[in-house]
Structure 1
Amino acid sequence: MGSETKPEINVTPPEEKGFQLTKEFLELAFDKEVEKFSTNVGTNPGDNYMSIMHGIEVTFKGEKESNHYLIKCYPNNQGRRDFLDQTDVFSKEFFIYQDFLPQLKQLAIERGAENIVDLSVAPVHGGNIVGTPSTKFTMKPWSDENFILMTDIRTIGFTMADRIKGLDLEHAKLVLEEIAKYHALSWAYKNKNGLSLLSDKYPQFADQMYDNDDLMKDFKQLMDQLGSSSVKMVEEKLGESHPAAKHFKDFVSRDYMEHMKLFVKKDGIDEDNLESYLRIKPEADKDYDNEPWLLGTHGDCWVNNMLFLYNDEVPKKPLSITLVDWQVNREACPTIDLAYFLYCSVRTSIRIPHLDELLKAYHDAFVRFCDALQVKPLKGFSMKTLKRRYRRAQHFGLLVSLPLLSIVLKPVGESIDIDTIQSDEMAELFSSVMQGNDKNALLKHEMGLIALDLYETGVI
């Protein structure tokens, strides 16, 4: 996987004296004697923004076959390092891999459902989070760096889908079923442990990104820029006088951060408040229970954070999917995971005509997994209520798609390696990544169709 002429990689800023990936480190990690190892770049430019990944190929003494791993590290850029510190996303991900997901797998075993609710997870072999209780890595020279060491499942056939093309119906349904597995497991965990909130036991489930006012203030200028450029694209696509363009402009002119916060509140979504933002309000329903739905969500369900395994006999048929990158997991309404995923990974040509089918795939899977785990679904859970709650969650999908679609739909040849940008300001970094939006015909097409659909369905 890599050249043996470069056996070490610096995982700390070059001006600091941090640890290097050495034979000694790998032997400590795996408790085995290393015969040889090599390293390479773990991801392509444009594939990873919050951290850096290095690929490692290791041959242990006495073994003929080499083993492949990834080490996820803090970036060299100080601004991105500060951002990770402020949001605590690295420790959140390590907690999910090392603590929470193993508990969920054990719960499935206890309920006799391990073959039904078989959540796919990349094996993690350890890591270090500065300031947390000691691990075997907390001795010098590794104690001052955050990292997570995991198996590189790409070497056993898992692969990333084409982010620009987006997922077809079959892939999308498979993802929704996997999301439903995690949702059902986290819901069953809450019930088993008598938790009103997961964050009562694990503070890692409380949102620490949108709650950080100083951090969000830094992004306001960026989001204002994105809002303005998105309005321009929609107006060029639909025409300035089109009612959808006018309503889209009104929507994005609101306070972006304050609107996003409504979806990630610790005690759940205020249904009445959020539905007041819909242009066409739901019909009165005396049986509708607006109690918040709260469970563990992935928080970052876009196409680059999922890997697919395919059937060799039917090349384009996906057999399974693994969700990766759990850095922004939070306890929230499941519909915001759905909106995030469907808006950022499924093109409008699939999402709009097949929306009911996609939501039904999630609904049926969630009910099936809850049944296997011997837990009742969320209160009032039905296709009717799921569609109602998803409808207002489309505001979240739209808001998050403003920055993310700029990344997802950027042509491969124009992808920017964020590690090469000389700036410590996060807003400037992402502003650089999103340059060229006005010339991206596919992005303009998608934004126009999104605005038109949301207007026609009365969401904006």
Structure 2
Amino acid sequence: MEHQTKMGGQRRLVLEEILNEKQIHHVLKQVIGDTPWDLKWSEVRPAVDGIAGFLGDHMKAVLYVDVLGEIKKVHLFVKRIPENNKPKADFIDEFNFYRREMLMFKVLEEIPKEGPNPWCGKAYIYSESIFVMPDLAVQGYTTRHYLDTLDTQHIFITTTTIARFHAAFVNYETKKSIMLNRPYNTLQEYGHLLVESTFCDSPWMNPCAKLSTSLIKAFSSKPYRDMPDMEEKLRKLFLKGCYSLKEYEDTVNVLVHKDLWVNNIMFKYENDTPVNAVLVDYQALRYGPPAFDLMIFLYVTTDRHFRDTKEKDVFNHYYTVFEESLTDDSKKRMEGLGFDRDNFLEWCERARMFGMVEAIGIYPFILMDPKTAQKEFDDPATYEKYMYEDRSEPVLAYSMKCNVYRDRNLEASEEFVERYVLKEL
């Protein structure tokens, strides 16, 4: 029996075309257990009207299951390799994006489960082509609007989650080291997966420098708007920032999420107050000092005024939660590495350049409304041009229509020029 739903004017989505019978049984066994069940029907729809995330097709499904005469609804969130954009599918496969997220869920199986406020979700299925997870929206979690910058409450609750995530991983490596009676290093085992694909000297980075130059020339009122050779200066410094995210031998390293924009953070509320944040989408996973995640998070979710006035409070809050979440054995390991509050604050400054490059690189995509982003950046005919040559045309055109989009993209590029380019002149 086909389980399907309409997609407006598009072809119907059919459950059996997304999950095979074995996968459906695997999911329902985890949800329902060994109790006999019978799948009666299902509904499948796109997660949003447009692009829900850049690295895959995203869907929501509801399975109506007869369990001992009672219909139980099983709500799922599904992410799979794009079907209609082969260049993007090849990009995802070549650079191990889904395999990196598989690694994260594998590690999570060895990390003690959290209480009522987890820092991550779970996956019923994780493979090289598809992920099937509970739909956290049904559990009361929601994301912010894609153009939102986060206020202090949301920043601090997310900072708590990021610190707990990093501490859990430190505890994981500490425990593995004790069990193996030798220092355990995740990168040594999985380094073939944790390689960079875009934030390195790659064709994807060159259009970032071209676009920043175009934005400044088109919209900035700063005296440096016509700086000679700006594009080349930016390109060299962008790459310097990119290569700063790596493993360092003289400090603690963790699995770094590296993609902490508002769509990858889900909030739960009580009386309109955020009480927990959950991190989702680990396909951009890297390995390096934890400060990189925090700086990425701040640069892609806040404005310059917030960072200028509140970032030190955020840094201190992170370190307090991180330290409190460590086991005694992990605390001893941190002492041996000389990783204390002052050292962490030094790392935050060292990670700043990468956080800025990340914001500059992904803002054009994540701050555009999903339907327009799908039209502009998910068309196989123009995909490679906008990814690897020049994306200025669609970005400048959309900037003329959306002031917030224009201002946030421009502010990020201007801050980078003022912090790094002008200092080298």
TM-score computed with the length of structure 2 as normaliser: 0.81
Percentage identity across aligned positions? Answer: 16
Give the partner amino acid of 2:81. Y
Task: Give unpaired runs (5+ residues) of structure 2.
Answer: 30-36, 178-182
Give the partner amino acid of 2:25. E
The correspondence of residues 135-154 of structure 1 with structure 2, limited to 5 A, is 146-154=129-137
Q: Is the 8 A contact 1:336 1:397 kept in 2?
A: yes
- Residue 228 of structure 1, aligned match among 199, 210, 213: 213
Q: Is the 8 A contact 1:52 1:74 kept in 2?
A: yes
The Cα offsets for residues 247-299 of structure 1, whole Å up to 9 and x where unpaired, read as 987751416345412323xx428xxxxxxxxxxxxxxxxxxxxx243112112
Give the partner amino acid of 1:302. W
The Cα offsets for residues 340-392 of structure 1, whole Å up to 9 and x where unpaired, read as 11001112232221011111111111111115775343733333322222113
In the TM superposition, residue 451 of structure 1 has moved relative to its aligned partner by 6.0
Are 1:297 and 2:262 matched, yes or no? no
SS in 1 for 2:374: coil
Q: CA separation of 1:352/1:10 partners in 2, compared to 1, >3 Å: closer, same or farther? A: farther
Q: Which residue in 1 is equivalent to 2:34? A: none
- Residue 363 of structure 2, aligned match among 384, 401, 405: 405
Q: Which moved more, 1:177-186 or 1:18-27?
A: 18-27
Mapped partners of 1:220, 1:452: distance in 2? 18
Q: Is the 8 A contact 1:206 1:330 kept in 2?
A: yes
Task: Number of aligned residue pairs: give it.
Answer: 396
- Residue 69 of structure 1, aligned match among 47, 70, 76: 76
SS in 2 for 1:64: strand
Q: Is the 8 A contact 1:27 1:33 kept in 2?
A: no
Q: Which moved more, 1:53-62 or 1:201-210?
A: 201-210
Q: Is the 8 A contact 1:46 1:416 kept in 2?
A: yes
Q: Is the 8 A contact 2:268 2:276 kept in 1?
A: yes
In the TM superposition, residue 303 of structure 1 has moved relative to its aligned partner by 1.0
Q: CA separation of 1:233/1:320 partners in 2, compared to 1, >3 Å: closer, same or farther? A: farther
Are 1:56 and 2:61 matched, yes or no? yes
Mapped partners of 1:369, 1:251: distance in 2? 42
In the TM superposition, residue 241 of structure 1 has moved relative to its aligned partner by 7.1
Mapped partners of 1:307, 1:250: distance in 2? 38
Mapped partners of 1:455, 1:127: distance in 2? 41
Mapped partners of 1:202, 1:128: distance in 2? 16
Q: CA separation of 1:4/1:415 partners in 2, compared to 1, >3 Å: closer, same or farther? A: closer
Mapped partners of 2:305, 2:280: distance in 1? 26
- Residue 307 of structure 1, aligned match among 250, 266, 289: 266
Q: CA separation of 1:246/1:178 partners in 2, compared to 1, >3 Å: closer, same or farther? A: farther
Mapped partners of 1:404, 1:104: distance in 2? 31
Mapped partners of 2:350, 2:278: distance in 1? 28
Q: Which residue in 2 is equivalent to 1:206? A: 194
- Residue 95 of structure 1, aligned match among 103, 110, 113: 103
Mapped partners of 1:123, 1:162: distance in 2? 23
SS in 2 for 1:124: coil
Q: Which residue in 2 is equivalent to 1:256? A: 238
Are 1:445 and 2:404 matched, yes or no? no
Q: Is the 8 A contact 1:301 1:341 kept in 2?
A: yes
Q: Is the 8 A contact 1:33 1:61 kept in 2?
A: yes
The correspondence of residues 30-429 of structure 1 with structure 2, limited to 5 A, is 30-31=28-29, 32-62=37-67, 63-76=70-83, 77-97=85-105, 99-105=106-112, 114-115=114-115, 119-129=118-128, 146-194=129-177, 195-203=183-191, 206-209=194-197, 217-232=202-217, 236-240=220-224, 252-254=234-236, 256-257=238-239, 259-264=241-246, 267-268=247-248, 291-311=250-270, 314-315=271-272, 317-371=273-327, 375-376=331-332, 377=334, 379-410=337-368, 414-417=372-375, 421-423=379-381, 425-428=383-386
- Residue 13 of structure 2, aligned match among 9, 12, 24: 9
Mapped partners of 2:243, 2:415: distance in 1? 24
Q: Is the 8 A contact 1:70 1:149 kept in 2?
A: yes
Q: CA separation of 1:46/1:225 partners in 2, compared to 1, >3 Å: closer, same or farther? A: farther
The Cα offsets for residues 48-73 of structure 1, whole Å up to 9 and x where unpaired, read as 11101111111112332312101211
Give the partner amino acid of 1:254. K
Q: Is the 8 A contact 2:323 2:331 kept in 1?
A: no
Give the partner amino acid of 1:201. E
Give the partner amino acid of 2:158. V
SS in 1 for 2:364: helix
SS in 2 for 1:36: strand
SS in 2 for 1:354: helix
Higher-helix-fraction structure: 2
